[in-house]
Amino acid sequence: MRISVINGPNLNLLGSRQPEIYGDWSLADIENACRLWAAAVNAKAETYQSNHEGDIIDRLHAARSEADAVVINPGAFSHYSYAIRDAIEAIEIPTVEVHLSNIKARETWRQHSVVAEVCESTIYGRGVDGYRDAIWHVAARARWPLHTIAYGSEPSQVGDLRLPATDGPYPVAILFHGGFWRDTDGRDVLDAAAIALTERGWATWNVTYRRVGSGGGWAPTMADASAALDALATFAADRNLDLDRVVAVGYEAGGQLAMSFGSGLSEPAVRKRRVHPAAVVGIAPISDLEAAFAENLGDGAIEAYLQETPDYARDRYRELSPAGLVPIGVPVLVVHGDADTVVPVAMSRAFAGQAADAGDEVIYHELEGIGHEDLIRPGTMAFERVADELDLLSRRIAAAG
């Protein structure tokens, strides 16, 4: 796969240009890294930078015959160049837009991108990692067929369904990505994990939800998680999904969403739900919002998500935490690395004990020497362990059913 990586005006100054906003990597550093990130997924990245609109358009036209996908940071052109927008639309190859900074949290004129609507997705606010994620995203989209399905009318209410190559009916893993419920992360971070699980025989439904910065906050975010789960009922028959074998899997902040299913949270809402997971899974999950607040995980993320501090909303912190909701009521699998510096393993250790004490069936694995991200990166021992545990869980559910 050939990926054309295009950078627009002023990005040649990276490294010295407002490093507090754009970081200290030079353009050459980023371009070299892009080649390595592409090689890691058996792709080839060709890099290009220009300060001129027409040259960028020419390069996009050339990509039509020379590349299979485009990753582009159009710089300030993103905000007003309809000519670049039209070029992206015209070449009809998958294009992902990247911004180093969080454009949604900056000046009003910078928050809107006119190219976004013709791109597969827009990744912003992840610094240089955004280029890596964009490259891996286009590679993943090319590697395994997917159906992108909206489960609501908001732009964030969307997911990717991937089906195994074998015959169904399939067990289903609904995947909730992490990123501290902020809109700078999306489901693309779980693309590779979703494909690896699909290769193992799972139908995967990898969903985005409203997050802080794009209409989220605990109430809409958790409502979206529920709606995404229920949406499975609308296409299960057509896609041969086995709704008795649905497992809700959440990574980091997504763990708070996935592990709340099955629990006593808002009883009437639970009863009205059409799809009930047979088990829930937390991968380095945030299972205790009070503890996460006390340790300032995600640098202010917990208050932003709950929109209140525990001084005023202690009950809510508990009510919305899997740790406060035990017994969860369905089998719970938790996997956490003991070298995690983003979400401390002590949180999972405590949760596993609380859930077991409350009568839950808890399968808890602490992986020695493993940090945060390895758990979602196929090819690492950590991910393969997570996937093996999921397969065991699926067999257990099938045997019980």
Nearer to ligand DQA, 78 or 121 (CB): 78
Minimum distance of ligand DQA from residue 75's CB (angstroms)? 3
Which residue of the set 48, 99, 209, 336 is catalytic?
99
Of 6, 60, 103, 275, the one binding ligand DQA (CB under 6 A) is 103
Of 75, 186, 216, 255, the one binding ligand DQA (CB under 6 A) is 75
Nearer to ligand DQA, 107 or 311 (CB): 107
Q: Which of residues 19-58 bind ligand DQA (CB under 6 A)?
A: none
Minimum distance of ligand DQA from residue 108's CB (angstroms)? 12
Structure tokens that stand for 372 in this block: 């945060």
Residue 90: how many other CB atoms lie within 10 Å: 12
Of 64, 110, 316, 349, the one binding ligand DQA (CB under 6 A) is 110
Residue 99 bears catalytic tag:
yes
How many angstroms separate the CA atoms of 131 and 3, rounded?
12
Residue 22 bears catalytic tag:
yes
Our finding on whether 91 is near ligand DQA (CB under 6 A) is: no
Q: How many residues bind ligand DQA (CB under 6 A)?
A: 10
Minimum distance of ligand DQA from residue 139's CB (angstroms)? 21
With a CB cutoff of 8 Å and minimum separation 6, the contacts of 319 are 265, 325
Relative orientation angle of helices 191-199 and 129-143, to the nearest 10 degrees: 30
Minimum distance of ligand DQA from residue 119's CB (angstroms)? 13
Of 47, 50, 73, 263, the one binding ligand DQA (CB under 6 A) is 73
How many angstroms separate the CA atoms of 189 and 373, rounded?
10
Of 76, 237, 392, 400, the one binding ligand DQA (CB under 6 A) is 76
Our finding on whether 241 is near ligand DQA (CB under 6 A) is: no
Nearer to ligand DQA, 57 or 281 (CB): 57
CA atoms within 13 A on the CB side of 28: 1
Minimum distance of ligand DQA from residue 355's CB (angstroms)? 42
**Which sequence positions are flagged as catalytic?**
22, 99
**Site residues (vs ligand DQA, CB under 6 A):** 10, 73, 75-76, 78, 99-101, 103, 110
